[in-house]
Structure 1
């Protein structure tokens, strides 16, 4: 079994073809999905504003290090497609930004 790495992935996209029911539900829940609700979790954290144009989904993905960032991004995008599909929200143009937390260098300030 290869080494597992933990990735933080931000998947961005655009809402598309939202039904009236989807719009109403998203607007009713908009306050719970603002900037203060953004966090990286395994199930994902959806953030958007009341314009219902763009959204972002933050999630944690654990994947084989040998498969790299691309696979972590693909896994995250697949999870987002599934989650938004279950909710009945239309979307397009998913793209992801991936950070490998196991290789990330932290620069501490010296005193």
Structure 2
């Protein structure tokens, strides 16, 4: 495992679903509710197909330096596409966005801890 943690979101929307595919996704929707969304190495899918056709996969990966974020993003996008394609789900072109957590600004708790006032 690398010293940097990457959080990668891959977004798109379902397109051209059959009635059976739509019913399958709706039946499985509780497992993919955004309330349970998490960044995982295998990727977590969330959507609310009853409201809109959009979906998000959340992946977590790691690398040793900033240059590793691009290959991690490409892998995440390929994994999301493979998951969709293996089930025959039509979709729009996917977009990936990655965040290197080592470059993220510290949160409120981290700033407080750094100051030494808990």
TM range (shorter): 0.7 to 0.9
Q: How does 1:14-53 map to 2 (within 5 A)?
A: 14-49=13-48, 50-53=50-53
CA distance in 1, matches of 2:64, 2:81: 21
Name which one, 1 or 2, has greater alpha-carbon Rg: 2
> Which TM-score applies when normalising by structure 2?
0.78
CA contact (8 A) 1:34 1:48 kept: yes
Compared with structure 1, are the counterparts of its residues 66 and 36 closer, same or farther at alpha carbon in structure 2 (3 Å cutoff)?
A: closer
Could you list the runs of 5+ residues in structure 2 that have no partner in the other structure? none
> Which TM-score applies when normalising by structure 1?
0.82
Q: Which structure carries more helix by proportion?
A: 2
CA distance in 2, matches of 1:34, 1:27: 11
Aligned length: 109
Compared with structure 1, are the counterparts of its residues 35 and 71 closer, same or farther at alpha carbon in structure 2 (3 Å cutoff)?
A: same
Which residue of structure 1 aligns with residue 11 of structure 2? Answer: 12
CA distance in 2, matches of 1:14, 1:80: 12
- TM superposition shift of 1:89: 1.3
- TM superposition shift of 1:66: 5.3
Runs of 4+ off more than 4 Å: none
